[in-house]
Structure 1
Amino acid sequence: MDRYLVRHVSNLPGGSHDDFFRRLSASANNGKLWIAIAAGMAAFPGKTRRAAVHGLLAQAVASTVTNVIFKTLLPRTRPLPEHLPVFRFVHPQPTSSSMPSGHSASAVAFAVGVGLVRPAIGAALAPAAAGVAYSRVHTGAHWPSDVLFGSALGAGAALVTRHWWPVRPPIPKTQRTAASAPELPGGKGLSIVVNALGGSFTDETADALREVFPEAHIVTVRPEDDLVEQISATADTPGTKALGVWGGDGTVGAAAAAAIERSLPLLVLPGGTLNHFARDAGIGNLQQAVTAASNGEAAKADIGFVTAERGLAGSPEVSELIMLNTSSIGLYPNLVRRREQLQPALGKPLAGVVAMFRTFAAGTPITLTVDGTPHRVWIAYVGRGRYYPRDHAPLLRPVLDDGVLDFRIFSADESFARLRLLWAVLTGTVASSSITHLREATEVTIHANGAPMALAVDGEALAGVRKVHYRVVPRALVYYSPQA
């Protein structure tokens, strides 16, 4: 059959198509064509960039398996010059085994790998992959069966690597439990704390708030002021029906503690260095906050209660903190900082992968006892509520009152743990890797074994911690949220 098909190709009339297939075949040497296409796709964040990475990963696996394993196991002579016209036969021909075709394996692996993530782009690449595969027969580099076998290997490599890089389950829809809260038209009955140390604060910030909340009591906390004292004083202002806060995660956490203590609903305004709670509460801009406050639209949220012990074991200094979002021990703050620096250029998924590589390539694990079990860990992460995706880069929290702590450990307990972790990051299998421990709990206790730990709660650092206890307080906070 091979000789029959090659003879049929040799009988085709010559023309410009001979030069086309010769150039197409050469462009795919060493995967250059697919690398160039992947580079172009990488300019588009999200699934397109992810598809490019998966295509290259599949191509690399297919090329390695084809050239290192099967060409050694299946030696075969390539077509000879007498099998094709001299103007069609390319010189010099490769000297490796003809079986299977490495060009075909790489072409199909890349196209199928891309198509598994972005089907439309994969379909667009299919003619190019088929053209490269056919060009190997047209130019006399391979027998047709070599091309078919190579193509099958390429498709298999794409499917196998897809198991390494599984499709992420869909993120659940946002759900909020409605709560009653006073209507605040014009901000009447609303007392607002503005932290001047918030990253996006300007002299016009308070003026902008006064414009949309003309009847609100607004206090700007300057760097020389005590933030907690100012929040408490603002919350105690006579006639206050709700407490508003403008600032980052740490400021919002302090305001939440004051609001809970006084049974006041909390209005979180978008602003500050980072304000993850405002995002999860559905307040992405000031107008949404105004709408929710004016209409009395509110919901309930769980809080995390954190008890941290510092100092000597016999006479510890105890700090009690409210956690609205996340807490971490170990390298997680470095990971987040790197990810957020890279995210504008690379997009969220790829930025998370690159940040993970940089962080763990040089990081040192610490020894902790978690609920009575010792671990060597790079990161211990606690989220107030289930975060998604379920891997090394949790970003979204669709439910604020699910009653759980999202607890994740990236451990160094096993042999070659660093290599295992980096491989899991590369292949997208962090959630299922043996070095990753994911669970949900209502309470977690962590002890430092040896040197004290560096703890971060909602972005606020606490050094010298020897023991920390987390617990969930269900639906303790009422917060304003549009269309809750």
Structure 2
Amino acid sequence: MQSKWRGSHRWIDRLDKYLVQHVSSLPGGNHDDFFRRLSASANHGKLWIAVAVGMAAFPGKTRRAAVHGLIAQAVASAVTNGVFKTLLPRARPLPEHLPVFRFVHPQPTSSSMPSGHSASAVAFAVGVGLVRPAIGAALAPVAAGVAYSRVHTGAHWPSDVLFGSALGAGAALVTRHWWPVRPPIPITRRTAALAPGLPGGEGLSIVVNTLGGSFTEETASALRDVFPKAYINTVDPGEDLKQQITETAEHPGTKALGVWGGDGTVGAAAAAAVERSLPLLVLPGGTLNHFARDAGTGSLADAVAAATNGAAAKADIGFVTAERGLAGSPAVSELIMLNTSSIGLYPNLVRRREHLQPALGKPLAGVVAMFRTFAAGTPITLTVDGVRRRVWIAYVGRGRYYPRDHAPLLRPVLDDGVLDFRIFSADESFARLRLLWAVLTGTVASSSITHLREVTEVSIDAGGSPMALAVDGEALAGVRKVHYRVVPRALVYYTPLG
């Protein structure tokens, strides 16, 4: 193995021996133990995995940088050990080249060219640095130390380290193409609207759904404290929620309708408010209340401030027409959509994502949830605007959601006049593998299985097989056809952002 290398790369061999002689002439000391331990800590990537685990404790870009670093490291390690060590066989340094107290024992038996430790170290540091430059700069000396330690302990020749480092940097850059920089999220923008001020809740009628997941007796007391002049209708289990919303909206002296509950309750209240030309105050409550978050009333203090000052804005609404039952005599349901609707595996994905989100953060939880969902799920056949497709998910958002991939989370503009329509297709060859690869590499938005467009209306037909439809978290079973359309700026809502 040594003779083959020397025959074609004699000048590299001479330079390596020259550099190793200089390392060998360094005096012994505590630094020998340091480099030996540093080199051992990077065996099998343990050092970088530990760093990534620590970074994962910080959500956002830091956690994303850790994931990218690990992906780059995995690619660099696979290419180095699985490809180049076979193509470039080379003997490692011998004991006579370095003092015996420095020489690593036992010495690895694989090819010396290239250095896998160096490839992994540089791949991780550069991969992290491409997402979080400051952390990448802090890791650079550690990666350099690991790379040098392989020469200091006699495990590799300097050229092995140099080539391995180049492979690591290349792996980080290649995987950055897989893990593209997300486009910036637009700033929050609102279109101001006229609405009456409601000091103390005067003229405000509030409907409270006690079936909301976070309802307690303290909830009603808190609302009475901040809105002492408001009419508050607490809807108990067993009562007709829609009827109670109607009665609340028609209460004498009502100038604005308030609602406490989850997304489904808010949607029903929005329908009543639009029908009666009332502004809507969405209060933070219920198991989920995405509209309150997007409206800026995610806290009771913000909602009180907006209502007191009469600060309001306009929002689009979506109308959903769903046909259920037999084809000859369908039952038609009309629903208001304030947030999102989905068909297929999306409800399972959302449940998994929200379960993982406290521990992993939103972006990484979305990746893990999608990977688990599609690994076991099966596609459905739908006709979308007359085109027949096999799909994993059909997703409709009322307004543009960000990021533009599999885990839409934020909606900075509520009156952009569009439906955010996304399909994850199963028509392509090896669709499941493509989808899982896109999830793993963070390229769902640019994958051939993803179809993104903005529309003002869309029709979906399940044919003979009924589909499960979810609108703002409310499930409808046995749906055969569904039509979506957007009505621009039909709802006036209170917001401190107005």
Deviation at 1:90, TM superposition (A): 2.1
Is it true that 1:218 corresponds to 2:232 in the alignment? yes
Moved over 6 A (4+): none
Deviation at 1:63, TM superposition (A): 0.7
Secondary structure of 1:204's aligned partner:
helix
Structure 1: how far apart are the matches of 2:437 and 2:494? 43
Structure 2: how far apart are the matches of 1:268 and 1:91? 68
- Residues 314-373 of structure 1 deviation map (CA, whole Å, 9 limit, x = unaligned): 221110110000000011111111111111111111111111122111111110011111
User: RMSD of the TM alignment (CA)?
Assistant: 1.1
Q: What is aligned with 2:349?
A: 335
Q: Do the aligned residues in 1 keep the contact of 2:402 with 2:410 (CA within 8 Å)? A: yes
Residue type at the aligned position of 1:348: K
**Equivalent residue in structure 1 for 2:112, among 75, 98, 101:** 98
**Equivalent residue in structure 1 for 2:274, among 248, 254, 260:** 260
Percent of residue pairs identical:
88
Q: What is aligned with 1:238?
A: 252
Structure 2: how far apart are the matches of 1:42 and 1:399? 30
Secondary structure of 2:432's aligned partner:
helix
Q: What is aligned with 1:77?
A: 91
Q: What is aligned with 1:273?
A: 287
Secondary structure of 1:120's aligned partner:
helix
Residue type at the aligned position of 1:7: Q
Structure 2: how far apart are the matches of 1:182 and 1:35? 56
Q: Do the aligned residues in 2 keep the contact of 1:403 with 1:474 (CA within 8 Å)? A: yes
Secondary structure of 2:217's aligned partner:
coil
**Between 117-126 and 104-113, the greater mean CA deviation after superposition:** 117-126
Deviation at 1:42, TM superposition (A): 2.2
Deviation at 1:38, TM superposition (A): 1.7
Deviation at 1:82, TM superposition (A): 2.1
Question: Residues 182-331 of structure 1 correspond to what in structure 2 (within 5 A)?
Answer: 182-331=196-345
Structure 1: how far apart are the matches of 2:495 and 2:425? 37
Q: Give the TM-score taking structure 1 as reference length.
A: 0.98
- Residues 152-181 of structure 1 deviation map (CA, whole Å, 9 limit, x = unaligned): 110110111111111111111100000001
Secondary structure of 2:334's aligned partner:
strand
Q: What is aligned with 1:368?
A: 382
Is it true that 1:128 corresponds to 2:136 in the alignment? no
Question: Residues 288-437 of structure 1 correspond to what in structure 2 (within 5 A)?
Answer: 288-437=302-451
Secondary structure of 1:72's aligned partner:
helix
Q: What is aligned with 2:11?
A: none
Structure 2: how far apart are the matches of 1:272 and 1:361? 31
Q: What is aligned with 1:44?
A: 58
Q: What is aligned with 2:460?
A: 446
Q: What is aligned with 1:162?
A: 176
Structure 2: how far apart are the matches of 1:423 and 1:380? 20
**Equivalent residue in structure 1 for 2:478, among 449, 455, 464:** 464
Residue type at the aligned position of 2:103: F
Secondary structure of 2:253's aligned partner:
coil
Secondary structure of 1:461's aligned partner:
strand
Residue type at the aligned position of 2:399: G
**Between 388-397 and 109-118, the greater mean CA deviation after superposition:** 109-118
Q: Do the aligned residues in 2 keep the contact of 1:104 with 1:133 (CA within 8 Å)? A: yes
Structure 1: how far apart are the matches of 2:105 and 2:339? 64
**Equivalent residue in structure 2 for 1:113, among 127, 136, 139:** 127
Mind listing any 5+ residue stretches in structure 1 that lack a counterpart?
A: none
Q: Do the aligned residues in 1 keep the contact of 2:114 with 2:161 (CA within 8 Å)? A: yes
- Residues 363-414 of structure 1 deviation map (CA, whole Å, 9 limit, x = unaligned): 1111001111111111110000000111111111000000000001111111
Structure 2: how far apart are the matches of 1:369 and 1:61? 39
Structure 2: how far apart are the matches of 1:399 and 1:464? 33
Q: What is aligned with 2:24?
A: 10
**Between 148-157 and 200-209, the greater mean CA deviation after superposition:** 200-209
Residue type at the aligned position of 2:74: A
Deviation at 1:76, TM superposition (A): 1.8
Deviation at 1:93, TM superposition (A): 2.1
Secondary structure of 1:209's aligned partner:
helix
Q: Give the TM-score taking structure 2 as reference length.
A: 0.95
Structure 2: how far apart are the matches of 1:253 and 1:32? 50
Deviation at 1:450, TM superposition (A): 3.1
Is it true that 1:27 corresponds to 2:41 in the alignment? yes
Deviation at 1:86, TM superposition (A): 2.0
Secondary structure of 1:440's aligned partner:
strand
**Between 87-96 and 249-258, the greater mean CA deviation after superposition:** 87-96
Structure 1: how far apart are the matches of 2:266 and 2:372? 30
Q: What is aligned with 2:487?
A: 473
Q: Do the aligned residues in 1 keep the contact of 2:190 with 2:497 (CA within 8 Å)? A: no
Deviation at 1:91, TM superposition (A): 3.2
Structure 2: how far apart are the matches of 1:297 and 1:92? 73
Q: Do the aligned residues in 2 keep the contact of 1:367 with 1:450 (CA within 8 Å)? A: no
Deviation at 1:102, TM superposition (A): 0.8
Q: What is aligned with 2:4?
A: none
Q: Classify 1:14/1:204 alpha carbon distance in 2 versus 1 (closer, same or farther; 3 Å).
A: closer
Residue type at the aligned position of 2:78: T
How many matched pairs? 484
Deviation at 1:68, TM superposition (A): 1.2
Mind listing any 5+ residue stretches in structure 2 that lack a counterpart?
A: 1-14
- Residues 215-258 of structure 1 deviation map (CA, whole Å, 9 limit, x = unaligned): 11111111111111111111111211111111110001000000
Structure 2: how far apart are the matches of 1:290 and 1:19? 64
**Between 274-283 and 10-19, the greater mean CA deviation after superposition:** 10-19
Q: Classify 1:40/1:83 alpha carbon distance in 2 versus 1 (closer, same or farther; 3 Å).
A: same
